[in-house]
Amino acid sequence: MVLSRGEASVPAADRVPGARTSRAPEDSQREEPRTMDYRLLGRTGVSVSPLCLGAMMFGAWGNQDRKESTRIIHHALDAGINFVDTADVYSAGESEEIVGEALAGGRRDDVILATKFFIPMSEAPNERGGSRRWIMREVENSLRRLKTDYIDLYQVHRPSPDTDVEETLGALSDLVHQGKVRYIGSSSYSASQIVEAQWAARDRRLQRFVTEQPPYSILVRGIEEDVLPTARRHGMGTLTYSPLAGGWLSGRWRKGHDTPTPVSPARQRLVDRFDMSLPENQRKLEVVESLAQLADEAGMSLIELAIAFVINHPAVTSAIIGPRTMEQLESQLPAADRTLSTEVLDRIDALVAPGTTINPADNSYGAAELTASARRR
């Protein structure tokens, strides 16, 4: 079934109205944190902001000015964001280093810090994946780069068809018992993989995934049909990534305008998502034009409309925003205060039907299952 949307961003029981970020030591340069409605992260009892600061663009993949990246992180925290997400693979560990430097000096305890493992970190065959061998080694590397004694949320970046989920859960459970990790989560898992992991954790009395991190935007709505309702049934928090659909909903790609080049290193391997010769991408351009008009009529920017659409879904806990510059962060922050009317949501549904992804290349799960060798031939 498709999980229906509502005007309220989250159920009333999952909201923490009027909560504020805690203050770090006095700093005359620091802004007064604003009031924000925080949300419960699944059934953990932890409260997080509806916007999560993604750090993929800090470092060689995006903003190479480490001081500027630190300023962006601090500004996000001052604006009320208390949730930061990164990964070991982002800029080959540099993103984690920048986040660690930014949180040093009294800010670490104010933040729910999330990172991920799994994607290859080198050409070596065992410096990747979900094996106990790699998890136990790589968590130490992430702790060192992040300059912290513990990770709040340690996530498997992708599922592995070659690794028993009990192997991964067993290693992660040991890290929780050791105090190096507080909670564990998955990323880009299909609904069936989410269920398999939940059952394995229950049957083997292991720590369970308390969050799922899938792609979600107006242009990429496939998870509404199965992933979101499945995660919700299992009491999982959902932190979605790419609310701007890789820049498509930022206004960067518009009909009649030249395609921006070059594509960032993080996107070079995703050619089909940005190849304008594909009919699916031409369709996305048409939808973006209609959404830009809708946003203007609703009195907000296209960026605000796109992010508000994501965090208005009752099954979404937090949307990961990934600014590269301070200007981009400033353009995204107002979305936390936007509520979309039923009329606006209905008009979005008319453009992109619920549960629909216009270009399947924008999905980040199911690839292994759809290869020729895994199908009938």
Supply the DSSP symbol for 358. S
H/E stretch holding 117: strand 112-117
Handedness of CA 110, 150, 242, 44 (dihedral sign): negative
pLDDT at 2: 54
Least Cα distance to 48 among 63, 37, 58, 64 occurs for 37
| Unique residue bearing structure tokens 């659409």 | 309
Catalytic choice (90, 183, 241, 365): 90
For residue 122, the tally of other CB atoms under 10 A from its CB is 9
What 3-state DSSP class applies to 77? helix
Handedness of CA 223, 226, 229, 232 (dihedral sign): negative
pLDDT at 193: 95
pLDDT in tens, the chain (377 residues): 555 454 444 444 465 544 444 334 344 355 555 567 899 999 999 999 999 999 999 999 999 999 999 999 999 999 999 999 999 999 999 999 999 999 998 999 999 999 999 999 999 999 999 999 999 999 999 999 999 999 999 999 999 888 999 999 999 999 999 999 999 999 999 999 999 999 999 999 999 999 999 999 999 999 999 999 999 999 999 999 999 999 999 987 666 665 555 455 555 446 777 787 889 899 999 999 999 999 999 999 999 999 999 999 999 999 999 999 999 999 999 999 999 999 999 999 999 999 999 998 888 766 666 677 777 65
The pTM of the full predicted model, rounded to 2 decimals, is 0.88
pLDDT at 373: 73
Report how far residue 13's alpha carbon sits from residue 29's, in angstroms, rounded to the nearest whole number.
36
Supply the DSSP symbol for 35. P
- Which residues, 6+ apart, have CB-to-CB distance to 38 below 8 Å? 15, 16, 19, 47, 48, 49, 50, 82
Q: Is 19 within 8 Å of 47 (Cβ atoms)? A: yes
Active site residue 241: no
pLDDT at 366: 61
Q: Is 358 within 8 Å of 287 (Cβ atoms)? A: yes
Does the bond joining 50 to the residue before it have cis omega, within 30 degrees of 0?
A: no
Through-space distance between the first and last CA atoms of the chain, rounded to whole angstroms: 29
pLDDT at 161: 85
pLDDT at 271: 73
- Which residues, 6+ apart, have CB-to-CB distance to 306 below 8 Å? 217, 218, 243, 244, 245, 249, 250, 291, 335
| CATH number for the domain running over 39-367 | 3.20.20.100
pLDDT at 26: 40
* Side-chain-facing half-sphere of 179: CA atoms under 13 Å: 2
pLDDT at 368: 64
* Burial class of 18 by CB neighbour count within 10 A (0 to 12, 13 to 18, 19+): exposed
Report how far residue 162's alpha carbon sits from residue 269's, in angstroms, rounded to the nearest whole number.
23
Report how far residue 3's alpha carbon sits from residue 314's, in angstroms, rounded to the nearest whole number.
9
Tell me how many helices (H) and strands (E) the chain has. Answer: 11, 11
